Amino acid sequence: MAYVKALRLELAHDELLRADPAERSVTQIALACGFTHMSKFARDFAARFGERPGAVLGRGYVRR
């Protein structure tokens, strides 16, 4: 299960980077990646990546 959680965290990280913050929220992305407890998601995300999910949201977004 740790492997699956790691894959889902990586997916969430990638989605958060590319997301348009005006269109998608951290909660929407976390739910889409299979996380149902937002506080646990935020804690696991910060432990894995060293920053909160909200800090990553939209960082890599490129307006088309």
Residue 14 belongs to domain with CATH number: 1.10.10.60
User: What confidence category does residue 64 fall into, taking pLDDT thresholds of 50, 70 and 90?
Assistant: confident
Burial label, 9 (beta-carbon count in 10 A; 0-12, 13-18, 19+):
buried
User: What confidence category does residue 49 fall into, taking pLDDT thresholds of 50, 70 and 90?
Assistant: very high
Sign for the CA dihedral angle at 20, 24, 27, 33 comes to negative
Residues near 1 by Cβ (< 8 Å), separated by ≥ 6? none
How many domains, in total, are found in the chain? 1
- The pTM of this model reads 0.92
Give me the domain span that covers residue 25: 2-56
Q: What is the mean pLDDT of residues 28-46?
A: 98
Establish if 64 belongs to a structural domain. no
Q: What is the mean pLDDT of residues 53-59?
A: 95
